[in-house]
Amino acid sequence: MTITALSEVAPDAEGLSVWPASTAGLPHGGLAVGGVPLTEIADRFGTPVYVLDEGEVRARCRAYRAAFPDADVLYAAKAFLSRAMVRWVREEGLGLDACSAGELELAVTAGFPADRVTLHGNAKSPQDIGAALRLGVGRVVIDSPSEIARLAAAVGTRGAQKVMVRVVPGIMAGGHEKIRTGTEGQKFGLALTDGSAQHAIARVLGQPQLELTGLHCHIGSQITDVKPYTAAVRRMVGLMARVRDTHGVVLSELDMGGGHGVAYRPGEPALDPAALARALRAELAASCAAAKLPPPRLAVEPGRAVAGPAGVALYRVLCVKHTGGRVFVAVDGGMSDNPRPALYGVRYAPRLVGRRSTAAPRTSTVVGRHCEAGDIVADGVELPGDLRPGDLLAVPVAGAYHLSMASGYNMVGRPPLVAVHDGTARLLVRRETLADFRNRDIGG
């Protein structure tokens, strides 16, 4: 679909700060993203539907490359991955962080160089390790002691696989307890405090099939302050110095993971890549100078910060219910395409698009269509008081951890994903249908 001309009006700036930069206001309350009216996307592809602004994705990739010119920037595939996303990330010069054989296979078959891929995962299956070695990934991140022997045995006589060890630095950071991964007592990595990390490093160095290139740490997600990252750098450099002193090995790489926070609603903070880069470079230089270490090559792994703000979810209102002193606006999607509100209590800022309302705002709760009381899209938000069935609601910052976490609950089917760019919309991922469910069920 190509839009040859858009009659733009001055967009309502209020509430659009978290939308893609290409967002433009249209007459009668419409919005266009990437030069394509959202109402036209909903009419053509149906709802629910996800919209991904290619230009926004590429601009965010470039912002990271500009902020980290002397570092490796790896896109975290778990945020969202498709063949088109693989191509955009590759063309913008980023590496890739994958955590399953499925993500690896999709990336490599879509043309991504395997040597620019790092494999993560706290419980890598034999299929994950087999795919990594067969495809020739650049790095495997060791996450547990048992993984060392399994990986070395799988490598066998084919040479040496480059690896990193994931270290838990004991840093509390992250927007929710379920996404804080830098402290002891959770499933990821090897702790500094009890010697687990040091023991794993020694074991890796004793395996000729494994080449230890450096250390990795990921302290959490939705972090909007640079201070936890700089604190983690100090502890990681301290460990690198101990590795040198104990084993005579100077590690050349330090991967500080991702977790870079974005704003989901106007006025919320976000982590600035340029500010993060400055802080990391300064702390790394100072810590390495104090430890008399050459600074290792830095790597970061943004996922949400690249894909999240580039996405918009579109839903149709199915009904509006007044009950118990509350207003519930039920839409045709919900927790099967976005489980994040149920998992983490995430707050969004949905918006009516396609018609201009003059009704006074009313506090409403946007809910999904699924058989769960926790199926909430957006709780306690201000929406026009005359919302009615058939209206179109748009939810910004929907590009990460929505479709990638989608499920088949209630057999509703996962929504399609449409890319927009320069006035053109094209289908990237088709809608899941009843036929898909039926074909997977081979029993009788």
Over the chain, what HEC string results? CECCCCCCECCCCCCCCCCCCCCEEEHHHEEEECCEEHHHHHHHHCCCEEEEEHHHHHHHHHHHHHHCCCCEEEEEHHHCCCHHHHHHHHHCCCEEEECCHHHHHHHHHCCCCHHHEEECCCCCCHHHHHHHHHHCCCEEEECCHHHHHHHHHHHCCCCCEEEEEEEECCCCCCCCHHHCCCCCCCCCCEECCCCHHHHHHHHHHCCCCEEEEEEECCCCCCECCCHHHHHHHHHHHHHHHHHHHHHCCCCCEEECCCCECCCCCCCCCCCCHHHHHHHHHHHHHHHHHHHCCCCCEEEECCCHHHHHHHEEEEEEEEEEEEECCEEEEEECCCCCCCCHHHHHCCCCCCEEECCCCCCCEEEEEEECCCCCCCCEEEEEEEEECCCCCCCEEEEECCCCCCHHHCCCHHHCCCCCEEEEECCEEEEEECCCCHHHHHHHCCCC
| Active site (annotated) includes residue 371 | yes
Question: Which residues are catalytically annotated?
Answer: 371
